[in-house]
Amino acid sequence: MAARQKKAASRRTPARRAKRSGTARTRGTLAPGVGKRGLAAAETALTLESPEAAALVAEVRTTGGVPLGAYREPLNGHPLLLATVPLSALQPTPFQRDLSPTHTQRLARRIAEAGAFLDPLIVVRGAPGRLWTPNGRHRLAAAKLLGLRQVTVLICPDPALAYRILALNTEKAHNLRDRSLEVIRMARSLASEQTRGSEQSWAEQFESPELLTLGLLYESSGRFAGGAYSAFLRKVDRFSDRPLAQSLRTRQDYAARLLSIDTEVKRIVTGLQARGFRSAYLRNYVVARINPVRWLKPGKADSAPMMPMGQALTRMAAAARAFKLESVSHRDLAWIAVGAGTEE
């Protein structure tokens, strides 16, 4: 028996052994590589007069652009050239995704608001006399929309990069939680700096008012089901004309009330599950049932709310407390599957 116990202990996973021993494991910890690779700092330096950069420098000048600097990229030492070139010399690779006019217009507004074109286009050699950008189609179109004469580019002499660069686009897409947390952190930073101006004055940066409220909720509860409440908040949440620090205190109160409502929603969902209801969208269904503005069509983001936020939360809380489990029938499951989508 002792031998069996010893064998079972050897089969335990590291996570289970750590849990049994009382030591906590850090989730998502990434250990740096043991060996060092790439160039040393001095090896990355490259002058415009260097033979390695000469062909790229000549090509940029042929287009009417200006070479700004050269260096060897630190992984494998390939020469790269930073330059400004006229927009007429650039074109997107023919196999890129289709241009989105809406995204281009939004991007152009953001660049204009920032007051600088900060993100150089990655560029490779394309057709004779032309430079291709394999992943900058929308930035190039935005620059044209803004009427820029030149844009900054980072030129790689290897044309095969145009076919490999899509593999580098591995950044995690921003879901509702990520966006909300970024917005509330931005707002807190601005408020801590005692930035002048109302919450409304930062509307372009915050994108949408409900992201501020949802950000506070996600800070309080990382697993909060924000997608279930976003439709409700879009109809009642608006930017405030008060100073940012004051508006955040009010939003903190709204977030606390919503957390209390969500506790009631969880109680209702548990009761429905006990009655035999099985659906991933039960929470969305319950939230829709207690939503006091669910039948009202949303207006524009800058229009008056369907109902004052405080009043809407009061009615929502009362509807949750009065929710009758027996009022839900199994025929509602079809509505749940079709009508209760989620943004997360």
Give pLDDT, residue 344: 42
pLDDT at 175: 86
Average pLDDT over residues 204-226: 92
Residue 249 main-chain phi, psi, to 5 deg? -65, -40
pLDDT digits (tens, 9 = 90+) for 238-257: 999 999 999 999 999 999 99
Q: Are strands 90-92 and 131-133 parallel, antiparallel or unpaired?
A: parallel
Q: How many CB atoms lie within 10 A of CB 1?
A: 5
CB atoms within 10 A of CB 215: 26
pLDDT at 16: 45
Please, where are the H alpha helices in the chain?
2-11, 14-21, 51-62, 101-114, 137-146, 161-164, 176-192, 203-206, 209-220, 226-236, 244-274, 282-290, 309-321, 332-339
Question: What's the predicted TM-score (pTM) here?
Answer: 0.64
Q: Tell me what pLDDT residue 300 has.
A: 62
Domains annotated on the chain, with CATH: 45-166 (3.90.1530.10), 176-339 (no CATH)
Residue count (the chain)? 344
Residue 162 token pair: 């145009």
pLDDT tens per residue, range 93-133:
877 777 889 989 999 999 998 899 999 999 988 766 678 88
Average pLDDT, the chain: 84
pLDDT computed for residue 53 by the predictor: 92
| Total Cβ atoms within 10 A of residue 342 | 14
CA-based nearest residue to 129, from 160, 89, 162, 88: 89
120/103 Cα distance (integer angstroms): 18
